[in-house]
């Protein structure tokens, strides 16, 4: 099967079977989205959603977070992964957001990556989720699912996966395709025990064909 045909079949299946695909993080504005995505690194969305209501209530704006200490922020997020470093990054991010961007979350990857604790994946997520830009964030789920389905070949790192995916996915559906692949990896194509018997993509799956 040609790679373009494989993409077409798989994307069509997702469109038909997962018409609504969006972030499972809870937030109400770009600032909260950025904070939640930063907290979600190597942590479940469920856990992040447990700590953010109190965090957002205490620090509703970049200005209020910028005035906090990392020790104060730590108390709100200590149940997430790497809370010490994340607390420091959140305060530093807010301080730069205020000083360099007047408290407004940038709408482009380059500016976002100048914020402490914000890497390419986080920047891609924010641009896709908030501004519906054609940016593909690659986490462990997307990296795994893309290889198993044969959407990528011999990808060595997230950037290679990102480039292969955006080459074949139409720009207007890249933000949704990010969530299709992520959610499929989170609930069906799991790392240790993929639920192949529940997967409607077996016909196109390179991993399943080798089982």
- Active-site residue list: 121, 139
| CA 128/CA 109 separation, integer angstroms | 10
Which residues have CB under 8 Å from 82's CB, separation 6+? 41, 42
| CA 146/CA 139 separation, integer angstroms | 11
Sign (positive or negative) of CA dihedral 197, 46, 113, 61: positive
- Closest C-alpha to 139, from 79, 204, 183, 192: 183
The token pair that represents 9 in the structure block: 């079949």
CA angle 177, 180, 183 (to 5 degrees): 145
Give the single-character DSSP code of 42: T
Sign (positive or negative) of CA dihedral 61, 99, 35, 79: negative
């Amino acid at each position: 099967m040609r790679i373009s045909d494989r993409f077409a079949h798989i994307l069509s299946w997702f469109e038909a079977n997962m018409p609504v695909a969006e972030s499972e993080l809870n937030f109400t504005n770009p600032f909260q989205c950025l904070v939640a995505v930063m907290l979600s690194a190597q942590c479940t969305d469920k856990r992040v959603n447990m700590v953010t209501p109190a965090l957002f209530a205490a620090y509703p704006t970049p200005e209020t977070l910028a005035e906090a200490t990392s020790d104060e922020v730590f108390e709100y997020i200590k149940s997430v992964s790497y809370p010490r470093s994340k607390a420091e990054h959140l305060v530093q991010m807010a301080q730069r957001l205020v000083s360099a961007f007047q408290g407004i979350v940038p709408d482009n990857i380059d500016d976002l990556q100048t914020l402490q604790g914000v890497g390419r994946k986080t920047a891609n997520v924010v641009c896709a989720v908030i501004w519906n830009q054609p940016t593909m964030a690659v986490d462990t789920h997307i990296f795994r699912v893309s290889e198993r389905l044969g959407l990528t070949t011999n990808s060595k790192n997230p950037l290679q996966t990102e480039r292969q995916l955006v080459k074949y996915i139409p720009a207007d559906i890249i933000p949704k395709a990010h969530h299709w692949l992520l959610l499929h990896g989170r609930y069906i194509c799991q790392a240790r025990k993929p639920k192949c018997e529940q997967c409607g993509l077996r016909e196109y799956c390179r991993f399943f064909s080798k089982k």
